[in-house]
Structure 1
């Protein structure tokens, strides 16, 4: 059944209005919704595992040899190491900021239980959810390396000043300040190259930590030891005080759209020495890199975030924009046609109208039907 002119105009207005609404939504989604999505999620929960690389030097000081009554300090070689880190989101966290807690251990897997544990650290830092940088508060984080008698971590307030666990949304090919947990200081991590890992585009960054006196960082008992010279492999009878030093070369491969660290590696070197430029006894030296399962897991996290950003940043705006334009065009066409539709003929009261230009019938005379034959009045004379 054909629509009346009024109905056509109403439908046309509705279509144009709906089309305009969809076009506005297509323009607003990339600027509003994507901005909300382009943040580190509050349900972040990531476990990463890194192993010492076969074929690379892996040295660990046997701590028991330092307390043995006889013999010099012993350094074990070809030691298999595993580093595990568990990252979660804690309070305080809100729409713009989040507190990340990372528990990290490094152990040698050729020994069982606590005898294999080399280091254990709990790190907390409050960061901006979009930039990944620590918030401008003091203190904005803490580091715990020791426990009390109850086994609870003892955290020291530490001001964090660089990236750590994530890079910014939309990572660029440039240097970034990056916080080193061992040195408790920030050094630049430099862009090296753009490359691929399992067909995913990543940016390779590298950071070099200069030789750092750990006693100046934290006055822990293990960071300065006074032992007989023979224990250090030196001549003489007098005790010799050694300080523990640290240096590192860190490599990170980052998915740039989401800032997810896909792969990471560290070339750790800790040693005891009287001077930082001349190591005396190696405490730890190894090249530790994310294992394949961790790389695949990080890629899955990055891809999920990429898909969400693509859905709201490109796919939905295109679909809504095209649909809005189509509805608006259909509405305009329908409105134009509805306005040009011929008006229906109005009925005439009292019969048919006379032809154009004809005289109206005189009062009292019935209108002649269209099919009536003309008649002629004949005068009839009487008395013929």
Structure 2
């Protein structure tokens, strides 16, 4: 059934309007929606587990009981199975642009039960930008985070205010192949973490970064009883008489593999060395020496998180804009063609034939009807 001229004009306007709206949506979705999606979610809860794989790397732990025993020198256990667990959540204050991250982390030796196997425990809080991952300045001008490594008499964590600088638990959305500042929890300072190479982990592209925390006297960092000990020389197992005071030193080589689109940490590895010494460049008694690596379930879980966010960014950043753009262009062209074609139901130009007025030639070259006269008829 042929459409009337008025109906055609209405349909053409609707198609043009719909096409224009879809084209605008195709432009606005990447610039507006993606910018809102490209942030760390506020319902974040991540548990990561790292252990020391049996690959021949040293795994040495100081037996703390040997330090307090009546006889014998300090004993360092070999080939100790270790597991490090970190539980990360989002706490208040958090809003559309910033989030407060709290991470509780423990390191245990699994060959001992309960508290006897606990080696270290820390709680870390920091407020970061949800897009860049960098710490933000506190509103009151004070430290933007806190760290607890000790407990009070009630067993509650003692949170020390600490200014955090540099990345820590996530990298920026759109991580680049460059050097970033990275915050080391033990030294409470930031150091350069450098891009090393591109690597595939379970078929996922990642950027490999590495940083080295220099040898640091931990007794100058945190007021913990274990960061400086005074014991007889014999207990330390060194020559000399009388008591000798040794601070605890720390160094670490940290490797991280980052999914660049989302900034997700896919894999982590730390080569930690804690030791007691009178001079930082001459280790004397090992407290901890081990390589800790994310276990396979943790890696798979982090990959799943990264892929879910990649799919969201791809949907709103590429797929929907392309679909809306193509449909918008088709609707726009159809509307313009329908409006300009101006054809009737037979496909011919819809001209209106105007009847000729009486007594004169009809418009458009048509003559008015005339009376026929018989010339042979006589009056």
TM-score by length of 2: 0.92
Tell me the residue number matched to 1:342.
350
2:235 paired with 1:231: yes
Count of residue correspondences: 370
1:85-130 per-residue CA deviation (whole Å, 9 max, x = no partner) reads 0111000000000000000000000000000000010100000011
Shift in Å at residue 236 of structure 1?
A: 3.1
In 2, are the aligned partners of 1:5 and 1:341 still within 8 Å (CA)? Answer: no
Tell me the residue number matched to 1:26.
26
Report SS of the residue matched to 1:249.
strand
Shift in Å at residue 198 of structure 1?
A: 1.0
Tell me the residue number matched to 1:180.
184
**CA root-mean-square deviation:** 2.3
1:179-231 per-residue CA deviation (whole Å, 9 max, x = no partner) reads 00011111000000011111111000000111000000012110010011100
The residue correspondences of 1:1-384 to structure 2 (distance < 5 A) are: 1-54=1-54, 55-137=56-138, 138-338=142-342, 341-345=349-353
Report SS of the residue matched to 2:342.
helix
In our comparison, the structure showing a higher alpha carbon Rg is: 1
1:14-39 per-residue CA deviation (whole Å, 9 max, x = no partner) reads 11111011111101111111111111
Q: Name stretches of at least 5 consecutive residues in structure 2 with no aligned partner.
A: none
Shift in Å at residue 154 of structure 1?
A: 1.3
In 1, are the aligned partners of 2:356 and 2:368 still within 8 Å (CA)? Answer: no
**Structure 2: distance between partners of 1:319 and 1:332:** 20
Runs (4 or more) in structure 1 with deviation over 6 Å come to: 347-350, 353-357, 372-378
Q: Which deviates more, 253-262 or 234-243?
A: 234-243
1:242-281 per-residue CA deviation (whole Å, 9 max, x = no partner) reads 1100000000000000000000000000000001010110
TM-score by length of 1: 0.91
Distance change (3 Å), C-alpha of 1:18 and 1:357 = closer
**Structure 2: distance between partners of 1:354 and 1:316:** 59
